[in-house]
């Protein structure tokens, strides 16, 4: 259920970005918040990372910093207790630092 719901939110964000809907920012912020909530699950993180990367590649104007700061804070606070690094985390960070709008 969580994968389906998140997948639909990513589809909505993708569509809103294409049609320049003002609610795209709200959907984006919702996804960022939900990423913080699902952080213990590596499978969910991989799913989110993949979808975020697709959206960042499609729309270079997306404000990546909206994701970076809260995500880094979540990792910092949860590291070693509910967050354990995986290779997908490093791959995602690498894609973020390469983004033109960081």
Name the nearest CA neighbour of 49 among 31, 37, 63.
31
Q: For the whole model, what pTM was predicted?
A: 0.91
**What are the distances in angstroms from CA 40 to CA 12, 18, 21, 43, 82?**
25, 31, 32, 9, 5
- 22: tokens are 């003002």
What is the torsional sign of CA 35, 41, 44, 49? positive
Is pLDDT of 100 > 90?
no
Quote the pLDDT of residue 102.
72
Task: Encode pLDDT of 68-79 as tens digits.
Answer: 999 998 988 888
Query: Average pLDDT of the chain?
Result: 91
């Amino acid at each position: 259920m969580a994968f389906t719901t998140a997948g639909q939110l990513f589809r909505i964000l993708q569509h809103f970005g294409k049609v320049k809907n003002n609610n795209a920012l709200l959907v984006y912020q919702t996804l960022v918040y939900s990423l913080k909530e699902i952080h213990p699950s590596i499978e969910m993180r991989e799913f989110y990372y993949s979808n975020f990367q697709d959206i960042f590649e499609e729309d270079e104007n997306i404000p990546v910093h909206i994701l970076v700061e809260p995500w880094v804070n979540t990792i910092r606070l949860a590291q070693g207790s509910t967050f354990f690094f995986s290779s997908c985390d490093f791959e995602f960070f690498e894609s973020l630092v390469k983004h033109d709008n960081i």
